[in-house]
Amino acid sequence: MEEINPWSSQPLVDVEKLFTDFGIETIENVLPMIPEVPSFMRRRIVIGHRDYQQIAGCISDKRPFHVLTGFMPSGHPHLGHLMVMKEVVWHVQQGGSGYVAIADREAHAVRGISWEKCDEFGKEYLACLCALGFEGTTYFQSRNNRLKDLAFEAATKVNFSELTAIYGFGADTELAHAESVITQVADILFPQVDSGPAPTVVPVGVDQDPHIRLARGIAHKMRMFTIEEREGYISVRSKNAPEAALNAVKSAFPHAKKYEGHVDIKGGTCTEVAARVREIERAHGGFAFYTPSSTYHIFMPGLTGGKMSSSIPESTISFHEPDPVVRKKVMNGITGGRMTLEEQKRLGGEPDRCSLYLLNLFHMVTEDAELAEIRRKCLGGEITCGQCKKDTAERVVAFLKEFREKIDACTDTIRV
């Protein structure tokens, strides 16, 4: 089974294999449930999910849900961060309550970034989100005491053997690194503590799936009850519930029978029973978490190949780089072109291997028809890589000019 490292700057090799190994489902099976499919799903930028059915149902039925993601402030935000920002904003526009964590504890523990730099970079991320229209709750991990308390509770449900199995931690792993992982679990669960239990989606790249798997497991362990649908009845089984909570479950349903450690209920639906049990759990001091959902997007490749990363400056474009630098980076970008002009005209290009085509796919070309025409010309050898680079460079420069103006308008409004 292939290991996933959330802190690596190297690209993942075989996404489909990783989906198979770790049980991630393809996004296509939930698209019919979404009233209006966003471009990042139509274009297969978002390709996978865990339990997104419950989020799609909330969107369709206009029921409450949360959306959360986090950003590690280890450098200036860049185009590689833009997709997850757009995903969060879109989910808020669909009715979700938005949460964004600035993972400064992770940046300090894993990357050695100073607290001052964490603050500087973190505010830049928040300004970008504001520029995209994000509305919701934002916080720095280090300044959120309720988050720290939740992380402590979550830590009681995991041991180092589990962290070793998921992350490959060893005897030389610093405790602060492990603590930053538990803090991220708390981030994922925090919206349900702050605003009440509800389905929660976490949009991430595939490399962040270890955090999702750990959080899902801990959310389940922190429940007082499990609810199982049996033939002819529903069984509410205590995990660590106080006796008073179990008695309350018995009293809440007229056709219930209480046994040692569980209550069996005839009549009613599993959904109705689960909702009432959550209320009882909360009333008796429990968390009543919904198991968090997630979506997974592919990475926009770096201009030099591999993963777009702030640790490789040539691979990415930050939002405040001068226009000449932006143009130079785009013109030096790796393409899917052929070795010679004659081969390009005869065989056509390979857009799916081209960092510039994918830059257009992700962000620079909003109209599907225009993108399809670019792809057609590339495949048909009707356009050279040089001309495509020039066209893409101008799109990026124009995009950044407009986006910088929005960022600058938001900068003074950031309060944390």
Q: At what angle do helices 145-155 and 175-194 cross, to 10 degrees?
A: 110
pLDDT confidence of residue 313: 79
Distance CA 351, CA 375 (A): 7
The mean pLDDT of 245-256, rounded to a whole number, is 94
List CB contacts of 74: < 8 A, sequence separation 6 or more. Answer: 107, 111, 113, 121, 310, 311
Q: Can you name the residues that pair with 296 across neighbouring β-strands?
A: 48, 204
pLDDT confidence of residue 394: 96
Q: Return the amino acid letter for 71.
A: F
Taking only the tens place, the pLDDT of each residue in 89-145 is 999 999 999 999 999 999 998 899 999 999 999 999 999 999 999 999 999 999 999
- Asked if residue 299 has pLDDT above 90, the reply is no
List CB contacts of 364: < 8 A, sequence separation 6 or more. Answer: 392, 395, 396, 399
- Asked if residue 387 has pLDDT above 80, the reply is yes
Distance CA 195, CA 65 (A): 10
CA 196 to chain centre: 20
pLDDT confidence of residue 9: 46
Average confidence score pLDDT of the chain: 90
The answer to whether the pTM exceeds 0.95 is no
